[in-house]
A and B are shown apart, each in its own frame.
Chain A
Amino acid sequence: MNSIVSALPGKITSLFGKLDSPYLNGGQQLAVKYFSVATVLFFAQLLFGLLAAIQFVAPGFLFGWLDFSVNRMIHINAMVVWLLYGFIGSVYWFLEEESGTEIAGLKLGNIAFYVLTGAVTIVVLVFLLIQTGPGKDTTIWFINEGREYIEAPRWADFGIVAVMLVFFYNVAGTFAKGRWSGISGVLTLDLIALAGLYCAGMFYLTNITADQYWWWWVIHLWVEATWEVLVGCIMAWSLMHLIGARRKIVQTWLYIEVALMFGSGILGLGHHYFWIGTPDYWFSIGGFFSALEPIPLVAMVVHSVYDAGVHQFKSRNHPALAWIIAHTFGNFLGAGVWGFMHTLPQINLYTHGTQWSASHGHLAFFGAYATINIAFFYMAVQKWRGNVWMGGELPGNGWKWKWAMALLNVGVLGMTVALLIAGYEQSFIERAMEGSTWSAYFSAQNHPWFQQAMHWRLLFGLITIAGLVLLIWDLVTIGKGETRPALQLLEAE
Chain B
Amino acid sequence: MIEPVALKDFFITFFSAALVILGGAGYAGLYAWAKLRGNPRLLLWAYACYAVLAGATFLLARATHLNGQWQILVGLMLTGYLLAPLGIWKLCVASHGN
Q: Is the CB of B95 within 8 A of A298?
A: no
User: Is B92 an interface residue when CB atoms closer than 8 A count as contact?
Assistant: yes
User: Is A349 an interface residue when CB atoms closer than 8 A count as contact?
Assistant: yes
Point out the residues of chain B lying under 8 angstroms from A340, CB to CB.
Answer: 17-18, 20-21
Point out the residues of chain B lying under 8 angstroms from A446, CB to CB.
Answer: none
Q: Is the CB of A342 within 8 A of B14?
A: yes
Q: Is the CB of B89 within 8 A of A302?
A: yes
Q: Complex: how many Å from CA A291 to CA B1?
A: 18
User: Is A89 an interface residue when CB atoms closer than 8 A count as contact?
Assistant: no
User: Is B44 an interface residue when CB atoms closer than 8 A count as contact?
Assistant: no
* In the complex with contacts A301-B32, A344-B17, A310-B96 CB distance below 8 A: yes
Q: Count of A-B contacts with CB under 8 A?
A: 109
A residues 369-427 touching B (CB-CB < 8 Å): 424, 427
User: Is A153 an interface residue when CB atoms closer than 8 A count as contact?
Assistant: no
User: Is A345 an interface residue when CB atoms closer than 8 A count as contact?
Assistant: yes
B1-42: CB near A (< 8 Å → 1, else 0) gives 111110100100110011011101100110111001100000
Q: Complex: how many Å from CA A312 to CA B28?
A: 21
Point out the residues of chain B lying under 8 angstroms from A291, CB to CB.
Answer: 77
Q: Which residue of A lies closest to B7 (CB)?
A: A432
Q: Is the CB of A432 within 8 A of B10?
A: yes
Q: Is the CB of B3 within 8 A of A346?
A: yes
* In the complex with contacts A302-B92, A346-B2, A346-B5, A336-B13 CB distance below 8 A: no
B residues 34-93 touching A (CB-CB < 8 Å): 36-37, 60, 63-65, 73, 77, 80-81, 84-85, 88-89, 91-93
Q: Complex: how many Å from CA A353 to CA B63?
A: 22
**What distance in Å separates the Cβ of A297 from its nearest Cβ neighbour in chain B?**
7
A260-293: CB near B (< 8 Å → 1, else 0) gives 0000000000000000000010011001100110
Q: Which residue of B lies closest to A427 (CB)?
A: B10
Tell me the count of chain A residues lying within 8 A, CB to CB, of chain B. Answer: 43
Point out the residues of chain A lying under 8 angstroms from B24, CB to CB.
Answer: 294, 298
**What distance in Å separates the Cβ of B25 from its nearest Cβ neighbour in chain A?**
5
**What distance in Å separates the Cβ of B81 from its nearest Cβ neighbour in chain A?**
7
Q: Is the CB of B88 within 8 A of A346?
A: no
Q: Which residue of B lies closest to A335 (CB)?
A: B21
Query: Among the listed A298, A336, A344, which residue makes an inter-chain contact with B81, where contact means beta carbons less than 8 Å apart?
Result: A298
User: Is A476 an interface residue when CB atoms closer than 8 A count as contact?
Assistant: no
**What distance in Å separates the Cβ of A174 from its nearest Cβ neighbour in chain B?**
28
Q: Is the CB of A287 within 8 A of B2?
A: yes
**What distance in Å separates the Cβ of B58 from its nearest Cβ neighbour in chain A?**
14
User: Is A306 an interface residue when CB atoms closer than 8 A count as contact?
Assistant: yes
Q: Complex: how many Å from CA A336 to CA B17?
A: 10
Q: Complex: how many Å from CA A341 to CA B4?
A: 15
**What distance in Å separates the Cβ of B65 from its nearest Cβ neighbour in chain A?**
6
Point out the residues of chain B lying under 8 angstroms from A15, CB to CB.
Answer: none
Q: Complex: how many Å from CA A72 to CA B85?
A: 41
* In the complex with contacts A298-B84, A432-B10, A305-B2 CB distance below 8 A: no
Q: Complex: how many Å from CA A428 to CA B6?
A: 11
Which among A342, A343, A347, A424 has the highest number of chain B CB atoms within 10 Å? Answer: A347
A residues adjacent to B (C-beta < 8 A): 248-249, 252-253, 256, 280, 283-284, 287-288, 291-292, 294-295, 297-299, 301-306, 309-310, 332, 336-337, 340-347, 349-350, 424, 427-428, 432-433
Known: A298-B25, A346-B64. 19 other contacts (CB 8 A): A249-B96, A283-B1, A295-B84, A298-B24, A302-B28, A302-B89, A302-B92, A306-B92, A337-B18, A340-B18, A340-B20, A340-B21, A346-B2, A346-B63, A346-B65, A347-B10, A347-B17, A349-B4, A350-B5
A-B contact list, 6 entries, CB within 8 Å: A298-B81, A340-B20, A343-B17, A344-B13, A346-B3, A347-B64
